Each structure stands twice: as C-alpha cells, then as structure tokens.
C-alpha cells in the first residue's frame, strides 16, 4: 500500500516535469468511414490526423511473407501455417486486400513523419519467431525506415531477437508481467503495458523513466483514463480514439 501511495506521489511530480504525451493510433485510425483495423487506409488516416505513430500487427506466413493482421487466422486459415498464395486474396471489412508489411512500409514512407509502430505477434515456435523478426527487420532496413520504426511484442523472445537483429532498434514489451529494471537488464528500450497493469503499479512509470525506458500504455479509450495517464506523464498513449486523445491534449495545452 505504502509503495502505491509513494508511486502516486512521484507521478504527481512527474506530471510537471515531463514532455507532452504522444498519441499512437491502435491498428491505425479505423473508427471512421472507409477504414478498417490494420488497413492501409487506417495508416493514411492516422497520418492525416497527425498522430505520433500508427500501430499495426505482423504475422509471417509459412513461406515467409510478412502480412498485416491482428488475429492469427484470416478467413479460417492460420496465417503462420498458410502459404501467402492461400490467403493473399482475403479482404478486410473496408474491401481492402490483406496488406503485406512491404506495402505498409511503402505507404508508410509517404506518411512522414508518422512513426510506424510494428507489433510482431507471438508465433507458435521460437524458430518461427526468429524467422519473423529476421524478415521484418530486413524489410525495414531495405526500405531505410529504421529510424521511423518502433517495435512492440508480447513475446520476450521476439524482443530479444529484435535487439540481436538491430542493436539500435527501439523495442518495448507488452505483456505487463516484467518490472522495468528487468526490461532494462534485457536491453529493451521501453515498456508498453495494459492500463490496468500501470494503474496497479504506478511506481513502474516512475522507475521506467529513471531507467531511461519509454513508457507506453494500451489501449486507452476512456477520457478519464486518458487524463489519468497524461497526468502520470507517460510518453505514449495507444488508443482506438486518437481524435479524443488529441482533443484532450490540445485542451491541456490551451489551459497551461
């Protein structure tokens, strides 16, 4: 209890000392006409709203093509065990054809300066995760987008592989079960935890900042939670409601 009170007290101090929280559109800006989660349209629309970053999810097919989708299946096929040929015609709800990572990167280049927040999904085996990381990092290097990309993953194995593949990569862990000091020890650059995890461990925000780790929180969709985490001084808020988040930040700026 004492620890939590101390954590909240330190958060109040941080509120007055930190830079402004940045907005990350969760799976792009999809909650609008013509868009869909993890679509190219959602990436463009997030960019049009001038968010800091647009997040998307990556899977690797059995024959090594990185595609963008949240679930592990598409049209009842498991992406990881399907060939690209078997899923390439799948459509998103806005009619868009299942995008590949390469298409996302090509479109992402035109969306300067929006950061590309790349989530690599946990795959079934360590070997598949290694292949996924290698494919993703190589594609990003080929397109010269290293500085525009930040990685996130629920798999600590993927986080470690990312750091081996690119020692300068920004890598944050999502699962919420590792304290900041251990993330730092493992070489990660940030934490990206569920809002309830950070409400239960407000001291982790403080500790992460002291350690030089970035702090990101997902998926924050209620105005009161947005206010709370802006007040807590987190670096990024990942949200399905980027317009609401930006309005709150704008109002805070006006009040200052």
Residues at the site binding Mg ion, with contacts judged by CB under 5 A: 57, 119
Which of 96/119 has CB closer to Mg ion?
A: 119
Q: How far is 2 from 70, CA to CA, in rounded Å?
A: 39
Least distance from C-beta 135 to Mg ion, angstroms? 18
- Helix extents (H) in the chain: 2-15, 40-48, 84-87, 101-109, 126-142, 156-165, 180-185, 195-200, 202-211, 223-231, 242-255
Which of 119/203 has CB closer to Mg ion?
A: 119
Residue 18 phi/psi, 5-degree rounding, is -95, 160
- Closest chain position to Mg ion (CB): 119
Compute the Cα dihedral for 26, 89, 124, 116 and give only its sign.
negative
Least distance from C-beta 240 to Mg ion, angstroms? 11
Least distance from C-beta 160 to Mg ion, angstroms? 19
Task: Give per-residue burial for 132-155: e unless 16+ CB within 10 Å, then b.
Answer: bbbbbbebbeebebeebbbbbbbb
Which of 119/235 has CB closer to Mg ion?
A: 119
Q: Evaluate the omega torsion of the peptide bond into residue 113 and state whether it is cis, within 30 degrees of 0.
A: yes
Least distance from C-beta 25 to Mg ion, angstroms? 11
Which of 11/162 has CB closer to Mg ion?
A: 162
Least distance from C-beta 151 to Mg ion, angstroms? 11
Which of 119/129 has CB closer to Mg ion?
A: 119
Residue with tokens 């290694």: 130
């Amino acid at each position: 209890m004492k620890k939590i009170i101390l954590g909240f007290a330190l958060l109040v101090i941080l509120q007055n000392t930190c830079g402004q929280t940045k907005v990350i559109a969760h799976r792009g800006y999809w909650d609008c006409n013509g868009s869909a989660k993890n679509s190219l349209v959602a990436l463009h629309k997030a960019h049009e709203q001038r968010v800091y970053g647009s997040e998307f999810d990556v899977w690797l097919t059995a024959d090594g093509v990185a595609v963008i989708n949240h679930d592990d299946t598409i049209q009842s096929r498991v992406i990881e065990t399907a060939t690209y040929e078997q899923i390439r015609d799948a459509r998103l709800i806005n009619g868009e054809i299942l995008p590949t990572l390469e298409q996302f990167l090509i479109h992402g280049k035109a969306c300067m300066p929006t950061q590309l927040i790349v989530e690599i999904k946990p795959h079934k085996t360590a070997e598949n995760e290694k292949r996924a990381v290698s494919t993703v990092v190589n594609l990003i290097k080929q397109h010269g987008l290293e500085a525009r990309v930040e990685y996130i993953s629920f798999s600590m194995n993927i986080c470690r592989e990312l750091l081996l593949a690119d020692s300068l990569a920004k890598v944050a862990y999502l699962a919420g079960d590792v304290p900041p000091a251990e993330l730092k020890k493992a070489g990660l650059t940030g934490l990206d935890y569920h809002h309830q995890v950070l409400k239960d461990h407000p001291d982790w925000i403080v500790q992460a900042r002291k350690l030089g780790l970035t702090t990101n929180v997902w998926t924050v969709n209620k105005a009161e939670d947005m206010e709370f985490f802006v007040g807590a001084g987190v670096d990024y808020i990942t949200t399905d409601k980027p317009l609401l988040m930006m309005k709150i930040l704008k109002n805070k700026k006006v009040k200052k």
